[in-house]
């Protein structure tokens, strides 16, 4: 991945090509990559499936019960959208793929209604 300090202009190019997503959707996917990498014993390539689950976990950690609403506000309505965003970032030169990687690896990894609503565990307010 390139230096994220130089992403501003590149994100503008990405959004010009893929205008269906809010800029924050691209930044969220990049942050989700860092999120999953921080939980691995060593940095390595992650699959579309792994990244889809990392996006779910990171969204739940950041936004709790509002995770699905926030993602949908940015234009993300299914795991296929994570794939479209990743491949737009690949086209812009911000990410790279490995042989065998496909945008289809992100298709129907999980359903948003199940991933963000049914399984959410309320942690409550610390100290109460």
pLDDT at position 2: 44
CA distances from residue 80 to 3, 39, 51, 77, 124 in whole angstroms, order as listed: 26, 23, 11, 8, 32
| Range of the structural domain that residue 24 is part of | 4-118
Residue whose pair of structure tokens reads 């699905």 in the numeric block: 68
pLDDT at position 20: 82
pLDDT at position 93: 85
Residue 125 lies in a domain: no
Residue 123 lies in a domain: no
Q: Among candidates 118, 112, 108, 102, which has minimal Cα distance to 56?
A: 112
Residue 126 lies in a domain: no
pLDDT at position 58: 96
Residue 127 lies in a domain: no
Residue 27 lies in a domain: yes
Q: What share of the chain is helix, strand, coil (3-state, %, to 5)?
A: 60, 0, 40
- pLDDT tens-digit profile, the chain (128 residues): 444 455 566 667 666 666 789 989 999 999 999 999 999 999 999 999 999 999 999 999 999 889 999 999 999 999 999 999 999 999 888 899 999 999 999 999 999 988 887 655 666 666 65
């Amino acid at each position: 991945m390139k230096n994220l300090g130089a992403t501003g202009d590149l994100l503008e190019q990405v959004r010009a090509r893929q205008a269906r997503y809010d800029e924050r959707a691209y930044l969220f996917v990049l942050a989700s990559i860092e999120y999953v990498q921080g939980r691995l014993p060593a940095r390595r390539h992650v699959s579309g499936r792994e990244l889809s689950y990392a996006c779910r976990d990171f969204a739940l950690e950041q936004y709790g019960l509002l995770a699905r609403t926030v993602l949908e506000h940015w234009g993300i309505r299914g795991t296929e959208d994570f794939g479209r965003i990743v491949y737009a970032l690949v086209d812009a030169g911000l990410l790279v793929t490995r042989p065998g990687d496909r945008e289809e690896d992100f298709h129907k990894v999980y359903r948003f209604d199940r991933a963000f609503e049914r399984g959410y565990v309320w942690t409550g307010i610390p100290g109460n």
